[in-house]
Structure 1
Amino acid sequence: MVDVKSSRDGIVVTAFWETKPEEVGAVLEILKRFLPQAQREPGVKTFEIHQSLTEPAKFFFYEVFRDEAAFGAHQQSEHFRTLIQGEALPKLAKRERAQHKFV
């Protein structure tokens, strides 16, 4: 039986990325390297990245962290700093992020 309360605890982060048109392939490869590492972080409950079927330069992230501390640790991880901040972000035309809570 699933503990409904514990599955709805935590902080939800969503992000929308749009790459520069010439950088779609490079960003996709970076995200393929990054995703398994992010999913293994101890404070991560869910971490999924989606690419638009109709607009391949657009990506949607859905992330659930145990708490604010886990989200902070994620942003300080080596793979986030290297792959996201160092490699991916310079290839983006647009980036939006928002934090949410469960209702």
Structure 2
Amino acid sequence: MRSTHQRLVPRVHEAFSRRSVIRAFGAVLAIYLSPWAAASSQAQQQGARTMNHYATQKSLSDAVDGGGLLVVAQWEAKPGEADKVAAILDRFLPEAQREEGVKLFLISRARDNPAQFLFYELFRDEAAFKAHQESAHFKTWIAGEALPLLAKRERVRYALM
């Protein structure tokens, strides 16, 4: 049996520990529920405008009402490719947020490591997630342009409780 201290230390080899998912959820909620600060770069400013507009359109209770399929994804761009990935995501995000089966779709960029991106995607159901992956904007910007620029891509799917 492990000591209590050992259980509290996150395991480096696990892609998504319970603690990292909880932290990610907290960070996403903090972003979703509070206004974004003015960003220094034009890409960050565009992202802030997109997220602020989106946050005024839906409430958190609207998003989680009725459950759904939650997808949490973490990306890490290859060295030197992070700004290209961010530019692609700036174009992709508004399109993804407008999809019929999307209840909530947020993308954030790590402050400490701008090559890391966190996605928090809530779909009405499995069919909506499949439709998202079949959309023209997903195929063009994500599969066609962004994925080749990544060093790492991880996804975990959850059912809301």
CA RMSD, Structure 1 to Structure 2 (Å)? 1.6
Matched, 1:51 2:116: no
Matched, 1:36 2:77: no
2:153 maps to which residue? 95
SS in structure 2 of the partner of residue 38 of structure 1: helix
Percent identity, aligned pairs only?
Answer: 55
Q: 1:17-36 counterparts in 2 under 5 A?
A: 17-36=75-94
Structure 1: gaps spanning 5 or more residues: none
Which has more radius of gyration? 2
Q: What CA deviation, in whole Å up to 9, does each residue of 1:26-52 have, x standing for no partner?
A: 000000000000000000000000000
Q: How many aligned positions are there?
A: 101
Paired amino acid for 1:66:
R
Q: What displacement does 1:7 show?
A: 1.3
Please give the TM-score of this superposition, normalised by the length of structure 1.
0.93
Q: What displacement does 1:21 show?
A: 1.5
C-alpha separation in 2, matches of 1:39 and 1:66: 12
Please give the TM-score of this superposition, normalised by the length of structure 2.
0.60
Q: Which has the higher contact order (CA 8 A, sep 6+)?
A: 1
Q: What displacement does 1:71 show?
A: 0.2
Q: What displacement does 1:3 show?
A: 6.7
Farther-moved stretch of structure 1 (8-17 vs 79-88): 8-17
Structure 2: gaps spanning 5 or more residues: 1-59
C-alpha separation in 2, matches of 1:95 and 1:53: 18
Matched, 1:66 2:124: yes
C-alpha separation in 1, matches of 2:86 and 2:79: 12
Q: What displacement does 1:8 show?
A: 4.7
Runs of 4 or more, structure 1, over 3 Å off, are none
